[in-house]
Amino acid sequence: MHGKGRLLVLSLALAALVLGAAFAQPALGQTLTIVQGTDIESLDPHVVTSSPSYAVLEHIFETLFELSPEGEIIYKLATGFEVGPDGRTYIIKLREGVTFADGTPFNAQAVKINLERIQDPATRAAYANLISPIVEINVLDEYTVELKSDEPFGPIQVHLAHPGMSMISPAAIARGNEYVAGNPVGTGPFELLEWRQGEQVTLRKRDGYWAEPAKLDQIVFRVIVDDGARLLELEAGTADVAIRIPPTEWQRIDADPNMKVDRTTGLRTIYIYFNVTKPPFDDVRVRRAFNYAVNNDAIVTALLAGAGRPSDAPMAPAVFGYSRQTPYTYNPSLARQLLEEAGFDFSRTYVIYHPTGRYNQDALIAAAVQQSLRAIGVQVELRTMEWTTYLDFVRRPQEQNEVEIAMLGWGVATMDADYALVEMFHSKQHPPAGFNLGFYSNPAVDAALDRGRFNADPQVRIDAYAEAQRLIWEDAPWIFLHSELQLTGLRENVHGFIVHPTERYKAHNAEKH
């Protein structure tokens, strides 16, 4: 063959090999970049406390049950649930053929190990209270687990749907809590690639996932504290999803053909709590006065551009068991009168702690509260803290706790009043055990909350929670502010990204096209 002919044949053969290889290889996967205001606290789902952490970890870990956006039970790692004749025994059938990312089988023994780890005080699981009524965990066979409680436990299924009940590989648990905190091993569709603390978490698609595999190859969660800066990233196209865009900007963003805004009614209530053990906040007149001093309607209208709802209960209306109360309407003259009756000390300065980058306009809201209180003669200093540092600071035990007043929000991940109220107001939930951060205690509230928890009759539970909310509202352990509307900005080419009312941002089936 002549030289030119040989070169032509070789060129054609090489082209065929290259083209064949291109068709033989799978298409290059996609990366979805999400910008949110805070970093995660840990890689251990049993000890983290906040929605931003769970938004990341729920792509790695799974629970026995999930909640649909409408609050319906979805069977995830469980396939069946049955209540025994005594009303205190619960039989859970488990999904077969599921393995953790390290190859460890998922089975009844794995469930037992996880639930016992959550209940073990040494774990310091953030939401151990959710399964505290469970007194026995028994393996009946490889894929059947039995739970027992002393009393009928009404919210058991929704509690097991909480991401704090995620299933971790028993092999990882056996290596100790420190190992688990740095090595997340779950049954979910993604696994950890990298965590650069304070900067970003990168997840990659996991081979061998038991359900439909993810369409994305990677998810990158970047930490950008400033709301406006997150929005700029979205507009520039360097982020695909921006969590909590500024409320005053959402209409402009939604009108841009390259972007869209998801508006989801949230289950998070924003509040400022009092440490009721510290004078003058041990006086209910002072606490009520602070409520009357703050104009919630103006905050929602001016700072949130209507992306919220002034509170008329300690929880949002979409939560099961919600009971409307008479709002503390803006009345600065009444507020001042109550403070004077209580002998309030106007000469000293009071400190309100608050985070930044965590809630919609959190710094501006804190400043608005400060201005309202100053208008009635109360001197207030604001102190801002980074989110993960803030959580540790406000959750200190009473004898170490410096807080008098602080801002937080509580999202009801179970969509049930038990979680909305017990964690916040039951006397057994004082730090470090739980999230009753103001050390509030009322035996009548405790009794009502216990009635709601230890009963399977929905109407009995509703009545109990209504009574609890009435008492809590009268006691005013919080400045009751508002519930949030979730505003999430997305690039137009992002599809299948779910914004859940419980503040879970699910990219399990998301893709870009």
pLDDT confidence band for 10 (50 / 70 / 90): very low
pLDDT in tens, 239-271: 999 998 999 899 999 999 999 999 998 899 999
5 burial via Cβ count (<10 Å: 0-12, 13-18, 19+):
exposed
Single pTM value for the model: 0.84
Cα–Cα–Cα angle for 31, 36, 42, rounded to 5 degrees: 90
Residue 433 φ/ψ, nearest 5 degrees: -65, -40
Q: Would you say residue 8 has pLDDT above 80?
A: no
Q: Which two structure tokens, joined as six digits, stand for 417?
A: 């009043």
Task: For residue 90, give the DSSP letter.
Answer: E
What amino acid occupies position 25?
A: Q
pLDDT tens for each residue of 303-323 = 999 999 999 999 999 999 999
User: Does residue 280 have a cis peptide bond before it, meaning omega lies within 30 degrees of 0?
Assistant: yes
What pLDDT, in 10s, does the model give residues 406-444? 999 999 999 999 999 999 999 999 998 889 999 999 999
How far apart (Å, rounded) are the C-alpha atoms in residues 374 and 400? 28
* The residue to which tokens 């996609």 are assigned: 30
Query: Which comes out higher in pLDDT, residue 2 or 253?
Result: 253
What percent of the chain stands above pLDDT 90?
86
207 φ, ψ (degrees, to nearest 5): -75, 145
Distance between CA atoms of residues 22 and 153, nearest Å: 57
Look at residue 137 and give its three-state secondary structure.
Answer: strand
Query: What number of CA atoms fall less than 13 Å from residue 133's CA on the CB side?
Result: 25
* Residue 368, pLDDT above cutoff 60: yes
pLDDT higher than 90, residue 13: no
Structural domains of the chain ordered from first start? 32-182 (3.90.76.10), 267-484 (3.10.105.10)
Q: What amino acid is encoded at 77 in this protein?
A: L
* Burial (CB count <10 Å: 0-12, 13-18, 19+), residue 287: buried
Q: How confident is the model at residue 507 (pLDDT cuts 50, 70, 90)?
A: very high
The answer to whether the beta carbons of residues 187 and 62 sit under 8 Å apart is: yes
**Average pLDDT of the chain, as a whole number:** 92
Side-chain-side CA neighbours of 259 within 13 Å: the count stands at: 26
User: Can you tell me the distance from the alpha carbon of 196 to that of 40, in angstroms, rounded to the nearest whole number?
Assistant: 10
CB 436, CB 271: distance < 8 Å: no
Going from the C-alpha of 431 to that of each of 54, 192, 205, 385, 444, the distances in angstroms are 21, 31, 37, 19, 20
DSSP 198-210: TTEEEEEEPTT-S
Model confidence over 371-381: pLDDT tens digits? Answer: 999 999 999 99
How crowded is residue 501: how many other Cβ atoms within 10 Å of its Cβ? 23
Helices 443-453, 417-425: axis angle to 10 degrees equals 150
In this prediction, residue 87 has a pLDDT band, given cuts at 50, 70 and 90, of very high
Residue 358 pLDDT level (bands cut at 50, 70, 90): confident
How sure is the predictor about 5, in pLDDT bands with cuts at 50, 70 and 90? very low
**For residue 497, is pLDDT > 70?**
yes
